Amino acid sequence: MPSANRLRTGDQALVREINLSLILNHLFEHPLLSRADLAGVTGLNKSTVSSLVQELLDNGLVREVGLNSNHIGRPSVLLELDNKAGYIVCCEIGVDFISVICSDFGTEIIWRHREDTHDLTGQDAIIKRILALLHQAVNVGAEACANCRVLGLSVGAPGLIDQTSGTLLFAPNLEWQNVPLRAILHNEFPAIPIFVENEANMALLGEYFFGAAKGYDEILFISAGVGLGGAVILGGQLFKGKTGFASEFGHMTMDSAGLPCKCGNRGCWETQASQSAVFRHIRYQIESGKPTLLSALTQNNLDLLTIPLMIQAAQEHDSLALQAFEQVGHYLGVGIASLVNAYNPDLIVFGGILSLAGEFLLPIIQAELHARALHWHSAATRVVLAQHGSDACVIGGIAMTFNHILSHPIRTTVIYG
């Protein structure tokens, strides 16, 4: 049995970390606070706050940024999070692309790179390319932020992630199974904290910390790309369910006799409401002889079809592009209305590559929501586009590292101090 002194030491360390976290979170939410301000908002005494702030200053997480003389008495020194505390690397593994960014601790993007993966054959080739890009991002961060530490490396992937091991268990649209992502990343970057998460969960965290969902606590996030993903925050906490696989909304059965889905089911929501569904509709209509600007825009090669090209055609009033967006907007709205009835969120954030077509899709989604959701639910719910659009996932990678540091500042300083 541990001695009383050992228990007291552990308790004191825990309390100190909680108080350090409290200080950091207040400075994140409200930059430019003085030590006296922090004592006031936290309820901690001034000497405790001074000691905590000094520890954060010594470890480079906080900096002093001038004086506040707008009050009676001696000017007070103002504090904020130090954007030079280190840098953060984030990656999204898309079905047909890789996106990587490097940011400082103030979320300013130092470097970004996005490329499609059509020319890469097989899982091993894609992972090899991901690792090369992550090494490049780490090196860029080191050059841009002299004497800085790497605060974290986050990877988002479209599938079921085992939270304990960081293994990508199943990603139907990638056709990957049982890929030990965290172990692979740890082997390449042994000194860096590694975070692996479902891409929709990561994207929602990005919008919650730094985007359209900031200030909300009951949020439904829909990510429409090649497939369809989702995430939920309830009471300010990411909802993961019993096994950590919650919010796989794209695989809700919407039509039991519908099209086969790559997950093995039929009639999943993502077979109706995704980029793949849009492109399938366009191909069918063109093959049926329907005229469209998209033929010229793709040089009669539909392998070149993209959502930006569809948006261009729709803005030029191309009936086929408009019809495709109307159809996918209808199916998105039907599914979202059901989820609103289930979760009663105060905000719906629509992200992913299809969110680029928000000018065409949002009015249809909102019309279906108001027609199909219970009035008391729909009246209380706003629908907005993800502020970071198709970058929401990599911005969410920044949020994951931020959240780790704000929650565990002692662990951060022990690892990197």
For residue 199, name the pLDDT band (cuts at 50, 70, 90).
very high
Whether the pLDDT of residue 10 is over 80: the answer is no
Three-state SS sequence of 118-184: CCCCCHHHHHHHHHHHHHHHHHHHHHHCCCCEEEEEEEEECCEEECCCCEEEEECCCCEEEECHHHH
Instruction: Find the mean pLDDT for residues 346-368.
Output: 96
The pLDDT of residue 71 is: 61
- Cα separation of 197 and 113, whole Å? 20
Whether the pLDDT of residue 2 is over 50: the answer is no
Of how many residues is the chain composed?
A: 417
Tens-digit pLDDT profile for residues 240-297: 998 889 999 999 999 999 999 999 999 999 999 999 999 999 999 999 999 999 999 9
Whether the pLDDT of residue 107 is over 90: the answer is no
Residue type, 45: N
For residue 66, name the pLDDT band (cuts at 50, 70, 90).
confident
Residue 191 phi/psi, 5-degree rounding, is -100, 5
Angle at alpha carbon of residue 173, lines to 240 and 229, rounded to 5°? 35
Three-state SS sequence of 254-321: CCCCCCECCCCCECEHHHCCCHHHHHHHHHHHHHCCCCCHHHHHCCCCHHHCCHHHHHHHHHCCCHHH
Compute, in degrees rounded to 10, the torsion defined by CA atoms 287, 288, 292, 297. Answer: 0
The pLDDT of residue 378 is: 83
Helix (H, G, I), strand (E, B) or coil at 223: strand
Whether the pLDDT of residue 215 is over 90: the answer is yes
Tens-digit pLDDT profile for residues 284-328: 999 999 999 999 999 999 999 999 999 999 999 999 999 999 999
- Cα separation of 309 and 326, whole Å? 16
Whether the pLDDT of residue 232 is over 90: the answer is yes
Whether the pLDDT of residue 145 is over 90: the answer is no
